[in-house]
A and B are shown apart, each in its own frame.
Chain A
Amino acid sequence: MEDVRSIVEHTYRAEHGRIVAMVIGAMGGDFASAEEVVQESFEAALQQWPREGVPREPRAWLLRAARNKAVDRVRRGVRLGARVDALEVVARLEQELAATPGGEDWQAHPDDSLRLLFTCCHPSLAVDVQVALALRTLCGLTTEEVARAFLVPPATMAQRLVRAQRKIRDARIPYVIPEPDALGERTRGVLHAIYLLFSEGHSATQGAELVRVDLCEEALRLARLTCHLLPRHPETTSLLAMMLLHHSRRHVRVAEDGGLVLLDRQDRGRWDAANIAEGLALLDGALALGAFGPYTVQAAIAALHAQAKRPEETDWEQIAALYERLAKLTPGPVVELNRAAAVAMAKGPAQGLVLVDDLESSGRLTEHHLLPAARAELLRRLGRTDEAVAAYRRALALVRTEPERRFLEERLKEVLADVPPT
């Protein structure tokens, strides 16, 4: 029983976006109805699979269930944005079903995901909402997960999502990849959504798993498709480069016991060389276009880490300079914190601490464990152990993922061992 539930959950994560994308297409772009229909199909799976066994082709089963529910809705005359008829829905979903069962053919259906991504990022929706909608619909994050990514209460996020879906239906935002001349307006949201999806996978904001490779890979897949659509677009190329460079460390970022392994302790021989080579080449391509946007700067930082054979060879001076540039392009507390860490490496912990303290006194990021964790680390390096202990305890009170909690606990233990007995 528990097993079936986890299979349904896994299928949800892996397939939800693409199933929704297809059903929206078949239902004439009616976002809200399509999402409800797919949701009902997953609920049906939760009830039926434990009794009847897990079907051999779960996604074909789900798509068929969604088709039946969609047709049922159309027959019952539930209002649809584009007024499709039942036969049309059947025909379009039959077409999708015919292409699905083989498994690998599924990958050959990139257009629906992209169509969905670009529809979510229509410029007539607020940028925040665009990204939230993409994460929810395409990437199958729960409303709670999306709310956390945007630091708003779940009820607020739920309301925003419903409003956006309603606007898509009532103003009739078309379900298409826009014409080339309209692409530019939407790229910002699209790239932001892909980036947040990757970040959510790279360091999950809660739960037992630190890394969700499925989300990272979906983000990479979408970035590749977007690059294909927008060749010679430096920010798109840079985003893909940056994600590949981060992704190259996926095998060594988490220890066997599930704990976090920091960059300076990772086995660099096990970084994925193919990812690194591709990332560096893409970054060169973006730099050759003469652009220096936020994603290019972040890719350049990731590249400097990737190129250092040993931690001591890391060019922290340049990394600190790049963070300074990034802070000007996209000001924000997390960028400032990273900059402080880089400055600490380049110029010593005391200088880094000045920046961290500035950040703290600005009152931003106070509810996040990263700030006290960074302070603790710098205080420890400065030998101010009592203060370091207090900062680690503060970080522990705020941390949300289990592996990060364990990491902080270990560090705290190390520091406590250093405290001279009084």
Chain B
Amino acid sequence: MKYLLMLFENEKAWDALPQEEAQKVLEEYMAFSESIEKSGNNIAGEALQPTSTATTVRVRDGKRLTTDGPFAETREQMGGFFLVEAKDLDEAIALASRIPAAKSGCVEIRPVMDYSDVMG
């Protein structure tokens, strides 16, 4: 089963982090990525540019409406994701709890929709 682990953190707190601490967190991320690569859980993962780079698009009545900024203004912003393979939710929770963002922000876990039954 595939799960998307979405990393939410406070961008301002991240920006305010002293450089050597930021470096440490990056190393933790690299170690985590490597470990899930080795264990076979990893499918994909990316870090995102900050929300200042975000653009939101809606189409209403055939008209495109483009706005600056992320979909929701919240205290924490989505900063990246991992797509993992896990046998069940408990394994996905165990993986998510090892992501550095779980300590400073939070990680939302969503199972990925499986269309194999419907598509045949």
Contacts and interface: CB of A to CB of B under 8 A. Distances in A.
A174 B111 contact: no
A151 interface: no
Interface string B68-95: 0000000000000000000111100100
- The residue among B88, B93, B111 with the most chain A CB atoms within 10 A of its own CB is B88
Contact of B1 (A79, A124, A172, A182): A172
Contacts of B90: 173-174, 176, 178, 182
Interface size class of B (residues with CB under 8 A): under 10
Contacts of B89: 122, 124, 171-174
In the complex, which range does the number of interface residues on chain A fall in? 10 to 19
Contacts of B93: 124
A111 interface: no
A123 to B, nearest CB: 8
B117 interface: yes
A36 interface: no
A142 B90 CA distance: 29
B94 to A, nearest CB: 9
A357 interface: no
Contacts of B111: 170-172
The listed residue with most B CB atoms (<10 A of its CB), out of A172, A174, A182, is: A172
A195 B88 CA distance: 29
B117 A172 contact: no
Contacts of B109: 124, 171
A176 to B, nearest CB: 7
A174 B89 CA distance: 7
A410 B70 CA distance: 67
Contacts of A173: 88-90
A176 B89 CA distance: 11
Interface of B: 1, 87-90, 93, 109, 111, 117
